[in-house]
């Protein structure tokens, strides 16, 4: 069944003493669960094994209590207490023949040790280099500390092997991990045999790998994960030095795994980074070593994967986000079901789960991290329990997800959309600068629905309560979306502000409808995610002079969690936009706006020709309210349930809407759980 063009992706590849069944390599990725939600993370990896990955890794696993990255929640291999969870993960990974990899991390200058309260250790005396600017410094390791560090690694190697892992990977990428801190001349200012020349800076890596061989012999492969470039200019660990390192120690590890640079660069969003973005940095490195090479690039195109392997750029196709969005990516390529691939849209909502220490979610794969908690599966749905029919109203991400998933259950589904095109907000937003990949949310679902004989789509069908009652469906999902507010209400202003009718005021909906302000435009962003900055970019492209006003300290401040904030602010500045932070919007007058300092309330005037309000949204729940007002008539029309789904219920990011649609389908015929939690969880066992 497989297209022979893709055969090369399914060749087995040797990694030292072990062999991967194919070239699909799920690189380590966080999931916001870590040590807190271990069974949830294990089951997530099991589903990937089912989906055909050849190698599946854990997230980073902290090897010793003297280095941890609280508040972020990863895994740990500190003592026997950690073993059952790690073993469960390895078993899950093995369930369908994948090799289990464990990423061993000693965070060094990146571990503030807020939980263990140990003094952090690093190559040199340095402040802790975290996202959170913790008021902590690391102490420069002395020789005894380095001996201890080697000993702690040995304990971790033994435990990792005992827990069942096949590949032990030392983490030194993304600016995280003591290995990178030793390799980089910026963080290693030592004058002993561990500092100075590249050979000296690589000494620790060499010692740790030879210790690993002594400990595990040929029972496990030893890999190393490094950044292709520290992205710190010539004073950092550059791509040229990395190539020198690989040439110098070509046979040292059993596998070289290369990440892009910083985490922000490696996990770049589609707004800022195309697929395969690290190609120039990695090309030619494979020729320096006989050992297999892994690289990443948000790969979802089988053709690009094949090309990179055939051109000798990669041996393994590394993937984190594409494996999250579609755990069955390898299987779908193997079975020649390319059109069924649920492509990652590069939004980094998954990353926000880690950054907010919650549980990761995925815009495209709503079952991600719900595999164990709720028993959800990315490909399968439970069979329908009744012969009832379902009407889904609105074909945005929520309605499309609901219709697709209810259809998978075997129910008869009608999907009614007021407009002529499917996709709701994603159809509109994917036309904005940098967001074209977001259209994949629609494309995947619309494509799947088109193949289902039990799901019928009706466009140009704006339904009223009268229509709905007349149709006689037993279940109705109202997924009618939301619209942007025009009264200034969001976080800074909880009440409407004074707006002069003489000033042209636009909402994001107006701009997406094609209306354009002109002259000097104030874009007021009290939403704090992507919309404000994207519209500012669009208006600059349209020839406007733009002032970006926000009550937050940084532009698009929530996008810190998607690793985009710095890039967004830089792009605004580079586009010539006047970025004014810490300024709330107090009023809109005929000739300009009144801004107020977020701290002092001191007011200032900004003259302008138009204002774009990127504030809160209001659910479009009129149809739902009309239906509930006529609840007494439902039984006569055979109607049993009406549910609000997605933005029509409460506006949020797209991932919330796809999740709501999926949840609607899962719970359509579920018994009422009363006061029971709607998910499983694990609570720490109490000790004496
Ligand atoms: P969500 O993110 O919750 O899916 P969207 O705003 O993206 O919400 O999509 C809502 C969709 O619902 C839009 O495509 C809109 O045209 C459609 N819609 C709104 N009201 C009606 C209605 N009364 N009948 C049919 N479709 C509707
Ligand atoms: Fe891709 Fe977005 Fe899903 Fe992350 S959340 S895997 S970036 S679609």
> Domains plus CATH for the chain?
4-355 (3.20.20.70), 389-481+620-667 (3.40.50.720), 487-617 (3.50.50.60)
What the block records as the tokens of 272 is 């800022």
Q: Measuring from atom 5 of ligand 2, which residue has the nearest CA?
A: 362
Q: What are phi and psi of 464, to 5 degrees?
A: -110, 170
> What pLDDT, on a 0 to 100 scale, did the predictor assign at position 502?
98
- Cβ neighbours of residue 74 closer than 8 Å, sequence gap 6 or more: 30, 34, 35, 59, 60, 61, 62, 105
> For 561-637, where are the E strands, in sequence order?
578-580, 583-588, 592-597, 603-607, 610-614, 617-619
Whether the model clears a pTM of 0.85, i.e. scores above it, the answer is yes
> What pLDDT, on a 0 to 100 scale, did the predictor assign at position 263?
87
The CB of 349 under 6 Å from ligand 2? The reply is yes
Q: State the sign of the Cα–Cα–Cα–Cα dihedral 371, 372, 376, 379.
A: positive
Distance CA 608, CA 573 (A): 19
For residue 548, what is the DSSP state?
E
> What pLDDT, on a 0 to 100 scale, did the predictor assign at position 206?
98
For residue 240, what is the DSSP state?
H
* Token pair 């259809």 in the structure block, residue: 407
The CB of 345 under 6 Å from ligand 2? The reply is yes
CA of 659 to the centre of ligand 2 (A): 13
Among the bound ligands, the one closest to the CA of 622: 1
Ligand 1 nearest-atom number relative to CA 464 = 23
- ∠ CA 436-440-444, nearest 5°, is 165
Q: Are 9 and 21 in contact, with CB atoms under 8 Å apart?
A: no
Ligand 1 nearest-atom number relative to CA 623 = 23
Distance CA 156, CA 137 (A): 25
Distance CA 471, CA 414 (A): 10
3-state secondary structure of 563: coil
The CB of 430 under 6 Å from ligand 1? The reply is no
The CB of 416 under 6 Å from ligand 1? The reply is yes
The CB of 561 under 6 Å from ligand 2? The reply is no
The CB of 621 under 6 Å from ligand 1? The reply is no
Among the bound ligands, the one closest to the CA of 462: 1
Q: How many helices (H) and strands (E) does the chain have?
A: 22, 30
Q: Are strands 592-597 and 603-607 parallel, antiparallel or unpaired?
A: antiparallel
User: Which of 267, 323, 327, 349 should be mutated for ligand 2, with most atoms under 8 A from CB?
Assistant: 349
Q: What are phi and psi of 288, to 5 degrees?
A: -90, -5
Distance CA 522, CA 270 (A): 26
Q: Measuring from atom 2 of ligand 2, which residue has the nearest CA?
A: 347
Ligand 2 nearest-atom number relative to CA 269 = 7
Tell the burial category of 600 from Cβ atoms under 10 Å away from its Cβ (0-12, 13-18, 19+): exposed
| C-alpha closest to that of 581 among 625, 502, 525 | 525
Q: Are 441 and 423 in contact, with CB atoms under 8 Å apart?
A: yes
Q: Measuring from atom 3 of ligand 2, which residue has the nearest CA?
A: 362
Among the bound ligands, the one closest to the CA of 424: 1
CB atoms within 10 A of CB 117: 7
Ligand 2 nearest-atom number relative to CA 364 = 8
Q: Are 437 and 346 in contact, with CB atoms under 8 Å apart?
A: yes
Q: Are strands 75-76 and 24-26 parallel, antiparallel or unpaired?
A: unpaired
The CB of 479 under 6 Å from ligand 1? The reply is yes
CA of 479 to the centre of ligand 1 (A): 6
User: Which of 47, 48, 341, 348 should be mutated for ligand 2, with most atoms under 8 A from CB?
Assistant: 348
Q: What are phi and psi of 322, to 5 degrees?
A: -60, -25
Q: What are phi and psi of 152, to 5 degrees?
A: -65, -35
| C-alpha closest to that of 271 among 88, 392, 438 | 438
The CB of 651 under 6 Å from ligand 1? The reply is no
User: Which of 324, 361, 429 should be mutated for ligand 2, with most atoms under 8 A from CB?
Assistant: 324
> What pLDDT, on a 0 to 100 scale, did the predictor assign at position 264?
86
| C-alpha closest to that of 355 among 72, 556, 60, 35 | 72
> What pLDDT, on a 0 to 100 scale, did the predictor assign at position 33?
94
Question: Average pLDDT by consecutive 10-residue portion of the chain (688 residues)?
Answer: 96 98 97 96 98 98 97 97 98 98 97 97 95 92 98 98 98 93 97 98 98 96 96 94 98 96 88 92 97 94 95 97 98 97 98 96 98 98 97 98 98 98 98 98 98 98 98 98 98 98 98 98 98 98 98 98 98 98 98 98 98 98 98 98 98 98 97 94 89
Strand order in the sheet with 455-458: 455-458, 412-416, 389-393, 475-478, 641-644
CA of 629 to the centre of ligand 2 (A): 39
> What pLDDT, on a 0 to 100 scale, did the predictor assign at position 76?
98
Cα atoms in the Cβ-side hemisphere of radius 13 Å centred on 394 = 32
3-state secondary structure of 478: strand
Q: Are 550 and 537 in contact, with CB atoms under 8 Å apart?
A: no
Q: Measuring from atom 13 of ligand 1, which residue has the nearest CA?
A: 424
Cα atoms in the Cβ-side hemisphere of radius 13 Å centred on 660 = 25
Phi-psi region of 274 (alpha: psi -120 to 50; beta: other; left: phi over 0): beta
What the block records as the tokens of 51 is 């989906």
Distance CA 60, CA 68 (A): 11
> What pLDDT, on a 0 to 100 scale, did the predictor assign at position 422?
98
Distance CA 178, CA 124 (A): 11
CA of 48 to the centre of ligand 1 (A): 33
The CB of 350 under 6 Å from ligand 2? The reply is yes
What the block records as the tokens of 416 is 């009614």
């Amino acid at each position: 069944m497989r297209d022979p063009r893709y055969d090369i992706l399914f060749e087995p590849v040797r990694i030292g003493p072990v062999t991967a069944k194919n070239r699909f390599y799920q690189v380590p990725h966080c999931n916001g669960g870590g040590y807190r939600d271990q069974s949830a993370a294990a089951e997530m990896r099991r589903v990937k094994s089912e989906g055909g990955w050849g190698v599946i890794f854990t997230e980073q696993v902290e090897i010793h209590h003297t280095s941890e990255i609280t508040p972020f929640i990863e895994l740990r291999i500190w003592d026997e207490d950690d073993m059952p969870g790690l073993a469960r993960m390895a078993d899950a990974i093995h369930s369908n023949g994948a090799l289990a990899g464990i990423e061993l991390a000693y965070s060094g200058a990146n571990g503030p040790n807020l939980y263990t309260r140990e003094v952090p250790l690093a190559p040199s005396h340095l402040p802790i280099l975290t996202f959170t600017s913790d008021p902590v410094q690391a102490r420069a390791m002395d020789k005894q500390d380095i001996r201890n560090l080697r000993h702690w690694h040995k304990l971790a190697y033994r435990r990792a092997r005992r827990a069942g892992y096949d590949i032990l990977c030392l983490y030194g990428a993304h600016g995280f991990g003591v290995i990178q801190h030793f390799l980089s001349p910026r963080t290693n200012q030592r004058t002993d045999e561990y500092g100075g020349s590249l050979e000296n800076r690589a000494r620790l890596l060499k010692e740790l790998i030879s210790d690993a061989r002594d400990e595990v012999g040929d029972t496990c492969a030893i890999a190393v994960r490094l950044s292709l470039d520290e992205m710190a200019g010539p004073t950092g660990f550059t791509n040229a030095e990395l190539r020198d390192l690989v040439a110098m120690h070509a046979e040292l590890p059993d596998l070289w795994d290369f990440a892009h640079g910083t985490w922000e660069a490696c996990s770049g969003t589609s707004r800022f980074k195309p697929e395969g973005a690290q190609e120039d940095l990695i090309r030619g490195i494979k020729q320096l070593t006989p050992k297999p090479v892994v690289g990443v690039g948000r790969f979802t195109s089988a053709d690009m994967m094949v090309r990179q392997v055939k051109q000798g750029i990669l041996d393994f196709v590394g993937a984190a986000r594409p494996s999250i969005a579609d755990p069955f990516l390898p299987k779908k390529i193997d079975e020649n079901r390319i059109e069924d691939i649920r492509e990652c849209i590069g939004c980094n909502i998954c990353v926000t789960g880690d950054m907010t220490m919650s549980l990761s979610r995925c815009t495209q794969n709503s079952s991600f991290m719900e595999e164990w908690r709720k028993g959800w599966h990315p490909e399968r749905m439970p069979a329908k329990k009744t012969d009832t029919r379902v009407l889904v109203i609105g074909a945005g991400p929520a309605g499309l997800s609901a219709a697709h998933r209810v259809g998978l259950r075997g129910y008869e589904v009608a999907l009614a959309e007021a407009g002529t095109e499917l996709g709701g907000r994603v159809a509109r937003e994917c036309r904005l600068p940098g967001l074209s990949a977001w259209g994949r949310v629609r494309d995947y679902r619309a494509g799947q629905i088109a193949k289902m004989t039990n799901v019928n789509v009706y466009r140009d069908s704006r339904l009223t309560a009268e229509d709905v009652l007349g149709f006689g469906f037993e279940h109705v999902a109202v997924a009618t979306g939301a619209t942007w507010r025009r009264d200034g209400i969001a976080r800074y202003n909880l009440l409407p502000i004074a707006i002069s009718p003489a000033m042209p005021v636009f909402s994001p909906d107006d701009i997406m409808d094609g209306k354009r302000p002109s002259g000097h435009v104030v874009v007021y962003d009290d939403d704090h995610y992507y919309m404000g900055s994207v519209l500012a970019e669009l208006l600059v492209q349209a020839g406007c002079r733009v002032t970006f006003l926000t009550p937050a300290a940084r532009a698009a401040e929530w996008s810190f969690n998607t690793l985009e904030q710095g890039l967004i602010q830089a792009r605004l500045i580079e586009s010539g936009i006047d970025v004014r932070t810490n300024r709330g919007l107090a009023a809109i007058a005929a000739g300009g706006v009144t801004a107020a300092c977020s701290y002092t309330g001191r007011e200032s005037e900004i003259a302008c020709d138009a204002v774009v309000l990127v504030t809160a949204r209001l659910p479009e729940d009129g149809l739902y309210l009309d239906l509930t007002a006529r609840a007494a008539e439902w039984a006569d029309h055979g109607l049993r349930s009406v549910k609000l789904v997605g933005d029509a219920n409460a506006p949020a990011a797209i991932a919330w809407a796809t999740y709501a649609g999926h949840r609607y389908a899962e719970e359509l015929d579920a018994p009422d759980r009363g006061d029971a939690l709607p998910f499983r969880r694990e609570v720490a066992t109490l000790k004496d």
